[in-house]
A and B are shown apart, each in its own frame.
Chain A
């Protein structure tokens, strides 16, 4: 899975300086840091290390994500940002030989500990993948309800399906064909369906692994708009190759390089006035 990430084109990142103030800024105007500082963080990561076999992929990452905010993880291919994301819901455990050590707290509860069942964790931390992956044999409705059925939530899922599809801005496009195959949707619609599927079980945190990298610009814009709406309710961590996208959607940005978390801070600051030389070189397109 990490291999797939390596293949994705690095040059999708812009070669010229990104000025997030120049692009239509959707970063909350009042600046995110003061607003969220009062609340305890939703996600706290302390000394997170990850290995693939003997390859030390992530070195002692420390950061916090405030509730109802978007954190973007950026960095060149192989920098560890996807590994970081996968550790947050322990999807890294699916890769043979992969392991992670450290503390990962959600609302103060450690989720990396052996006592915590990854299945339980994943119901609290939803994930959207790089390529839309709806269940191909299921209808649109069943895709959204899949997580509900897994959780044994009884009864008629109509209401939840409708609410979730509205939340993911897909309802108007699919309300007349809920029983059609999920594969009858376009790529962008499929991705929003996958977001709906993740939201239906009401996770607290939503992880997005380059959710728009396989989509065209219009579908990408819809996903970005959606992220803005979703952050009213959810805490979102998004990995992206596209620095402009990070500038548009996130409140905070974390820059990873060679397995190290180089710098994390308010998105505006990372893109306009980073403290680290390497961050500046990356966001201004000197490498990457």
Chain B
């Protein structure tokens, strides 16, 4: 118990804060409530999703729901596979495009670029991050999709058409369009985290490589990139997490057709897009439940990816195993 003098004195003033001081205890409880409320909210979301989803998911069969590709609300057929497939494919395309560009950007900004160009480029990355997703969607629909249809897709078909992913009629709307839009949207995330990761690379490593007679690129290749690799993986997973959950822009360009196609030119559907499109008009409890179940699936995928990303980013912040620094 604290001495009485402590009780009478205002906690924040001259007396140094001590464990057991009532002001401190109240403050401690207060912030514990704030912190804990976040956990409660996350838990409630999960619980509520599960509560709504469970009856229809159970009724449809857990396994059948996940791996069936039929989605016909009128006949009460609900299979999640086209949406899972569409989500993963578009996010994958986005990552394939965004990762090399982001790492290049980050290296440009932190290592190689002319100093005069660095600030404007860094600023444009921030601008890219600030654009609302519906604007990306509009731009995608009216500018990018026609361009994909008339130029990019026919070109890919001509040059790489032997690959199944580049076959079929170039429609414009589809996996590729969604992937490209997502790439633009996750690029700022990956680039800015990668820049932070590159800042953690000790300058002495770069000097060590340069002193051996490495060129700037060689120094980046043998000293900077290996050191930063876990962090860059973490950055891409953070970007991937954003791509998986992106709704508006994807809905506007993916084509919204619950089918599975090998071709990237074909229209598809994604988990967030179908939830956004159908929730308001869902008629029966089974339909609503199936949509909530799709939400759970999405929740699960992003949760796992974010956990992996966290672990990797923390690993690089700590430095490589056994480091004495």
Contacts and interface: CB of A to CB of B under 8 A. Distances in A.
How large, as a class, is the contact surface on chain B? 20 to 34
A184 interface: yes
B223 interface: yes
B245 to A, nearest CB: 33
B219 to A, nearest CB: 9
A94 B207 contact: yes
B204 interface: yes
Given A1-B203, A150-B222, A183 B320 contact: yes
B322 interface: yes
19 contacts: A1-B203, A91-B210, A94-B206, A94-B207, A94-B210, A96-B115, A119-B213, A122-B211, A127-B211, A133-B204, A135-B223, A136-B205, A136-B319, A136-B320, A137-B226, A146-B212, A183-B320, A194-B208, A201-B212
Interface in A141-182: 146-147, 149-151, 181
Contacts of A149: 222
B48 interface: no
A183 B324 contact: yes
Interface in A235-269: none
A198 interface: yes
B218 interface: yes
B321 interface: yes
Interface of B: 115, 202-215, 218, 222-223, 226-227, 229, 319-324
A150 B218 contact: yes
Given A122-B211, A135-B205, A187-B324, 10 more contacts: A119-B215, A122-B212, A123-B212, A123-B213, A138-B226, A150-B212, A181-B320, A181-B322, A183-B323, A201-B212
Nearest to A142: B222
Interface of A: 1, 89, 91, 94, 96, 119-120, 122-123, 126-127, 129, 131, 133-138, 146-147, 149-151, 181, 183-184, 187, 194, 197-198, 201
A201 B213 contact: yes
Q: Which of A119, A187, A194 has the most CB of B within 10 A?
A: A119
Contact of B208 (A1, A133, A181): A133
Contacts of B203: 1
A135 B222 contact: yes
Contacts of B229: 137
Contacts of A1: 203, 207
Nearest to B230: A137
Given A129-B204, A183-B321, A183-B324, A135 B226 contact: yes
Nearest to B228: A137
Contacts of B321: 181, 183
A147 B323 contact: no
Given A89-B211, A120-B213, A146 B222 contact: yes
Contact of B207 (A129, A150, A181, A201): A129
Contact of A198 (B115, B212, B227, B320): B212
A281 to B, nearest CB: 33
4 pairs of A and B residues whose beta carbons are closest in the complex: A123-B213, A127-B211, A137-B226, A133-B204
A89 B320 CA distance: 29
Contacts of A126: 211-212
Given A129-B207, A129-B208, A135-B226, A150 B322 contact: no
Contacts of B215: 119
A122 B323 contact: no
B208 A151 contact: no
A183 B226 contact: no
B111 to A, nearest CB: 11
Q: Which of A1, A150, A197 has the most CB of B within 10 A?
A: A150
Nearest to A137: B226
Contact of B227 (A136, A150, A197): A136
A1 to B, nearest CB: 7
B197 to A, nearest CB: 14
B211 A91 contact: yes
A96 B203 CA distance: 14
Given A94-B210, A119-B213, A150-B213, A133 B205 contact: yes
B123 to A, nearest CB: 21
B99 to A, nearest CB: 20
A1 B115 CA distance: 19
Contacts of A201: 212-213
Contacts of B222: 135, 146, 149-150
A187 B325 CA distance: 10
Contacts of B227: 136-137
B72 to A, nearest CB: 52
B212 A91 contact: no
Contacts of A89: 211
A147 B219 CA distance: 11
Q: Which of A120, A137, A184 has the most CB of B within 10 A?
A: A137
Contacts of A183: 320-324
Contacts of B218: 150
